[in-house]
Structure 1
């Protein structure tokens, strides 16, 4: 595990302890020492890298030396179907990787779900409480992703109707009809490796970082992008604001002006 992965795990643990402390106060609240946070753009995929990752999820392996792709056997391609859905939903919506495998096809009280008619992903169930530090607002689905979701829904319905040896897939992301029981990390490492990327540093959370960065690069207003991603405008501006084309526009313009 990298230092940054350990940092994220400790951040989650610290948040959980603090949340419990608010309702059931401890006599002593433990302190957590986190590894230093890396600076820079390391958690963001370029569009080329994202395309390579998606191609690997479609069942291909890249030979980095020659630049040639090899198609894997049909069983391997089928085994990665859930990863294709995970990548597209993560890149298009920036939804946290812990939430995506829980998104259900039908309305739910205790889990995230998708409304294909209204074109909305509800990131939490109707009776679930939102958390102050990890908000889960609904997200309007972009048209391209909505077309994929509707196609996946038809495929899932047909697979179950044909009597394949699997349960009806209740979640959008599933493995052969079975709800994912654990993290998606193992399969994700496999496609990262086959895409010629470093599986030791590339994590599923990069999809969220990448979505936020792309929104900023397209100069989406901060408050709109923050609401779409489910983070505060302050956090978005602090961590991703420098990607906006308009970032520091006035100082740059001042130096670009010719002296009268």
Structure 2
């Protein structure tokens, strides 16, 4: 009952979950209650007490770590044991490279600074539920067709020239048919299992989910000395500065950021 939603019951619930999980659940509850109230289905103020926000994720990957990840994804192949014959039980290397789709995911995520959902739905062709890659004009429309804009901003972004070259090569070699991240010609819905395997193969021990690539892109741009407002526009991120959240940029405004994301970090002078 709404009458049972009190600061005490909210705190009791939070004690049964992790801090982040409890906060997310209670945020959903608050949204449902507000939705209920806006339709005049109840009268009165119901306050949902939220736990404090956890510390923001600050983990990111170095260029060497990203290179190792891409390398193991490209080179890794499954091994098989021969089932019969003179060499029964012998281990041979197969041509089944089961992580190459993840290499494309990593490069596209990093060079556009996009969230995993936008990358997994990224397609060379327009369609319902797809994020669109306009190779002719070099623009990635991150918001999937038919999706509504939310507080998770997904503005169009200028594609770095190096990434465009990668995409054209993948297309020419038949590695992709419609989507950037495909497995056996079918769009991939999640890369969590493949990502965990790649981290292990690359011997990266950081606690780094796929979303870390977005933080990595932001860090690399800052290291390149890209203007913060331009970097925020390129990534679709917001900051505490109202000027970053209230202004919308056309894709060309972040052209320098699109170029800088692929450059190596400049060495500081002695």
- TM-score normalized with structure 2 length: 0.66
User: Partner of 1:119 in structure 2?
Assistant: 138
Alpha-carbon distance, 1:33 to partner: 3.2
- Structure 2 distance, partners of 1:121, 1:14, is 34
User: Partner of 1:44 in structure 2?
Assistant: 60
Q: What SS is found at the alignment partner of 1:234?
A: coil
Q: What SS is found at the alignment partner of 1:209?
A: helix
1:186 aligns with 2:193: yes
1:176 aligns with 2:192: no
Structure showing greater radius of gyration is 2
Alpha-carbon distance, 1:21 to partner: 5.5
Unaligned segments of structure 2, at least 5 residues = 1-17, 78-91, 245-270
RMSD (Å) for aligned C-alpha atoms:
3.3
- Structure 2 distance, partners of 1:100, 1:12, is 24
Structure 1 residues 174 and 14: alpha-carbon distance in aligned structure 2, compared to 1, 3 A threshold: farther
Which shows bigger deviation, 19-28 or 140-149?
Answer: 19-28
Residues 221 and 231 of structure 2 are in contact (CA less than 8 Å); yes or no, is this contact kept in structure 1? Answer: yes
Alpha-carbon distance, 1:36 to partner: 3.3
1:230 aligns with 2:236: yes
User: Partner of 2:121 in structure 1?
Assistant: 102
Aligned length, in residue pairs: 207
User: Partner of 2:103 in structure 1?
Assistant: 84
Residues 30 and 48 of structure 2 are in contact (CA less than 8 Å); yes or no, is this contact kept in structure 1? Answer: no
Residues 99 and 194 of structure 2 are in contact (CA less than 8 Å); yes or no, is this contact kept in structure 1? Answer: yes
Q: Which structure has more RCO (C-alpha within 8 Å, separation ≥ 6)? A: 1
Structure 1 residues 98 and 73: alpha-carbon distance in aligned structure 2, compared to 1, 3 A threshold: farther
- TM-score normalized with structure 1 length: 0.68
